[in-house]
Amino acid sequence: MIAALQRLTSLSFTLLGLLLVTFTLARLSPVDPVLRLVGDHASADTYAAMRRALDLDASWPVQFRAYLARLARGDLGVSLSTGEPVADDLERVFPATLELATLAMVVSTAVGLPLAVLSALRPRGVLDGVVRVVSLVGNSVPIYWLGLLALYLFYAHWRILGGPGRLDDAFEYTIDMPTGSVLIDSWRSGQPGAFANAVSHLVLPVLLLAAYAAGNVTRLTRAALLAESGREYVTLARAKGATEVRVLLNHMLPNAAGFIVTVLALGYASLLEGAVLIETVFARPGLGRYLTTALFAADIPAILGGTLLIGVCFVLINGVTDVCVKLLDPRIR
Amino acid sequence: MGTDRGVSVRWRRAFGACAVLGLCASWVMPDVRAASPPDVLVVAQSLDDLVSLDPAEGFELSSLEAFTNVYQRLVQPDPDDPQTLVPTLAAGWQSGPTPRSLVFDLRADATFAGGHPVRPEDVIFSLRRAVKLNRAPVFILNELGWRPESIDASLGKIDAHRVRIDWSSNVGAAFVLRILAAPIASIVDEAEVAPHESGGDAGNGWLKAHSAGSGPFKIRRYIAHEALVLDANPASPGDAPRLKTLIIKNVADAATRRLLVEVGDADIARDLGPDQIAALQGKPNLKTVRFPSAAIHYLLLNTVNPGNAALANQALWEAARWLVDYDGIAKRLLKGEFEVHQAFLADGFPGALNETPYHLDVARARAILSAAGLDHGLRIKLSVFNQPPYGDIAQSLQSTFAQGGIDLQILPALAGEVYAQVRARTEEAVWLYWVPDYFDANSTAGAFASNLEDGTKTLAWRAGWHIPQLSRETAAAVQDQDPAARQRRYLAIQAAVQTSSPFVIALQAHAQVVMRASVRGYRQGLDADMVYYDRVSK
């Protein structure tokens, strides 16, 4: 009970600190949010009225305190960029990011982990070399360029996959999106072809994001397994006649599991933070694009709301990761 | 050796198998894409600037374009000849009881998309809420002397079909009609908006994402930063649009917009770069249409920057005019996007000065600088937007100014940051563009050639240009009731700005729109709001 309270207190201070830093950085931005709203041609009177309406005449501590007071009532404010409540905006864009990031993480784990294990079985072998090169390329080539290339080949040239957007226009504005997940909502719509269409639009962004994430998963997992391979318990297992596969799967992998789970969790959290470039190239809504647009407009309510959501995600993922690591590794219980 | 060959053979077989599988997959994979319906027009452009679809508030390029298609005004520019105003919701007008008054007869058959008739009360409600809300574009209505405290007395219902409009500014009726043709003077349906009023906002919160107009289209759905979906309004007082639905999709990346129109999933792609336009030239299913725009691009020298006294030297202003490679930028660097234009009124505006006396002449610029003692390593910081095509323009300027002995240091920044600098007059030089707020010469002349030093932050004020006489002439021009005399005044004012100001006016933008070959009837005018989808078919 006390531990839970301590954790809750620590969590509150973490999020408060995050908000404070974000607020300060946003206020230091040279972009004038009033100009974003009233334009460059507005009269001084209109400019001053909007400044007052946004409460920007108050000192920074007063502004921050007012934000916290509203936040305590569950009010994240109204976005200057969209004119909508930030909570509504986040409810609209976050499920899209969650869907994309989760699918990308599943694919990257399904591909990256086996590749890492196979590489670790024969370090410096042919497969290991190929995997290292591919994972390095996955991490190094600009994802923006890869996205455009993939769109050109699979959408524009061969025409075998859907292109930008979440659905074709025949479906996009006729299907209700109560959950915000295009897969779930297109499935539930019952419209023939809608689900397949949604999948076809998801394949490229998911695979590209997965390729990017798999690079990290593969390289770090491989390195963790190779680090384990020099340990005494591995030598002992080999001396007792265990096969390499058995040594790897039954001895090394369980010992590296805590580290691997942490790598996966961090990768997932960074994907949730937003894949701005993928969302831009593929014209998909998402938290990354939302926050980027807000940053360019010095849209403080949207920036703070989005950052808070990301902070909560990180905290939750860290918490789940801690529990998983403790379950997997009795040494740190 | 034998093992290596074995591995090599295995890899070759594996690659071969993958290639065959890939080909088979592309062959047998069903086309998962649904065709765009024939009565739907899909437009790919950026909507990231759009903040509000309330005509009393929205002042971004995307919202202005939407207003023209969703709302109507009493009078509007003829799409095919914007210098001519045509009655739209008004059937006609005549002088009112005072010299500063007009009486408008409303069209008897005009109805809003919601089915309500257009009444004098709607006109009064729309103009009054626009003034009282006091949002971005209200300064346009303020030109008539309308203020929140006085607007009620300026508008009156005469009978069921007539409305009286008075103004207090010393301007003529022709100018007033131009103001009433601006998007902020769009007429909204009071009966539709009133139930959605909340906390005295005059329905502003609701109108941000909904419509209550009589234009050819009505808003079905607006998803912020995603799409604006419009349905045809068959009851529009003009003819009904030819297409049932208009989808304006937010596709922020220009390369993606190009792919969409190339494949056919978008019928129109706007705001493509010169490279993308060039890549699409010659494609049989596409055509590129070029429309002149009223956007004027210019260099502003901030003469009151305390860190660089040379900026106040008129010799520098003169030399700068000879150090811009006008033709190089317009005809080679950004081919198709610009034409050389050296006066503040865009070609197509009444009274535009189309003479282009300046060209790149490094020797003459060096001589001017030398005579003024400015030939000893002059450095100027140039602020520019950090997006195309401003980087290219800045580099061209940097190159030609260097030939003249001036070291231009380029400072790219977000547009919001650049505007904040200019408003605070902290920049040294800046490359900007100007788009008129309404279709009258005063909109632009009042910015470039008026600095009353009364707190109004015109462009002349931002440049620190002290011009009491020219400001008086600009004020007199707007009051002139004789159209021919007024044009002569503006020609003279433009000539003064062209030859003796801290502005180097260089280019007039042209919008290049790529569309499928089957698309017909798309019209785009000079001003930002003049985008017309009502006659489009495909």
- pLDDT by residue for chain B (538 residues), tens only, comes to 334 444 444 444 544 544 444 444 444 444 445 456 789 999 999 998 898 999 999 999 999 999 999 999 999 999 999 999 999 999 999 999 999 999 999 999 999 999 999 999 999 999 999 999 999 899 999 999 999 999 999 999 999 999 999 999 999 999 999 999 999 999 999 999 999 999 889 999 999 999 999 999 999 999 998 999 999 998 887 778 989 999 999 999 999 999 999 999 999 999 998 889 999 999 999 999 999 999 999 999 999 999 999 999 999 999 999 999 999 999 999 988 999 999 999 999 989 999 999 999 999 999 999 999 998 889 999 999 998 899 999 999 999 999 999 999 999 998 888 988 998 999 999 999 999 999 999 999 999 999 988 878 899 999 999 999 999 999 999 999 898 999 999 999 999 999 999 999 999 999 999 999 999 999 999 999 999 999 999 9
CB atoms within 10 A of CB B409: 12
A107-111 long-range Cβ contacts below 8 angstroms, 24+ apart: A107/A206, A107/A207, A107/A210, A107/A214, A108/A209, A108/A210, A108/A211, A108/A212, A108/A213, A108/A214, A108/A217, A108/A267, A109/A214, A109/A217, A109/A264, A111/A210, A111/A214
Structure token digits, residue B293: 């725009």
Question: What is the distance between the terminal CA atoms of chain A, rounded to a whole angstrom?
Answer: 17
Under 8 Å CB-to-CB from B103, ≥6 apart: which residues? B93, B94, B95, B96, B158, B162, B163, B164, B165
CA nearest B310: which of B407, B451, B390? B407
Question: What is the distance between the terminal CA atoms of chain B, rounded to a whole angstrom?
Answer: 65
Burial of B160 (0-12, 13-18, 19+ CB in 10 A): exposed
Residue A236 to residue B7: CA distance in whole angstroms: 32
Residue B509 near residue B526, CB atoms below 8 Å: no
Partner residue facing A36 (CB), from B7, B142, B416: B416
Residue B45 near residue B271, CB atoms below 8 Å: yes
Structure token digits, residue B388: 């195309």
Residue B437 near residue B179, CB atoms below 8 Å: no
Residue B512 to residue B412: CA distance in whole angstroms: 25
Reduced DSSP (H G I as helix, E B as strand, rest coil) percent helix, strand, coil of chain B, to 5:
35, 25, 40
User: Cα angle vertex B489, ends B488, B490, to 5°?
Assistant: 90
Contacts of residue A283 in chain B, CB cutoff 8 Å? 249-253, 256
Partner residue facing B414 (CB), from A31, A82, A155: A31
Length of chain B: 538
Residue A181 to residue A106: CA distance in whole angstroms: 16
CB proximity under 8 Å: B 247-266 to A: 247, 249-253, 255-256, 259-260, 262-263, 265
CA nearest B189: which of B274, B113, B81? B113
Partner residue facing B225 (CB), from A32, A169, A293: A293
Residue A237 near residue A251, CB atoms below 8 Å: yes
Structure token digits, residue B163: 């409305």
Structure token digits, residue A296: 């360019």
- Judged by a CB distance cut-off of 8 A, whether residue A280 touches chain B is yes
Contacts of residue A293 in chain B, CB cutoff 8 Å? 48, 225
Q: Which residues of B105-114 are buried (b: 16+ CB within 10 A; e: fewer)?
A: bbbeebbbbb
Contacts of residue B52 in chain A, CB cutoff 8 Å? 83
Determine the distance in angstroms separating the CA of B209 from the nearest CA of chain A, rounded to an integer: 9
CB distance B256–A161 less than 8 Å? Answer: no
Q: Which residue has the tokens 């792919």?
A: B259
Contacts of residue B456 in chain A, CB cutoff 8 Å? 43-44
- Judged by a CB distance cut-off of 8 A, whether residue A82 touches chain B is yes
- Judged by a CB distance cut-off of 8 A, whether residue B208 touches chain A is yes
E strands, B4-154, are: 40-45, 75-78, 81-87, 90-95, 101-106
Residue A214 to residue A212: CA distance in whole angstroms: 6
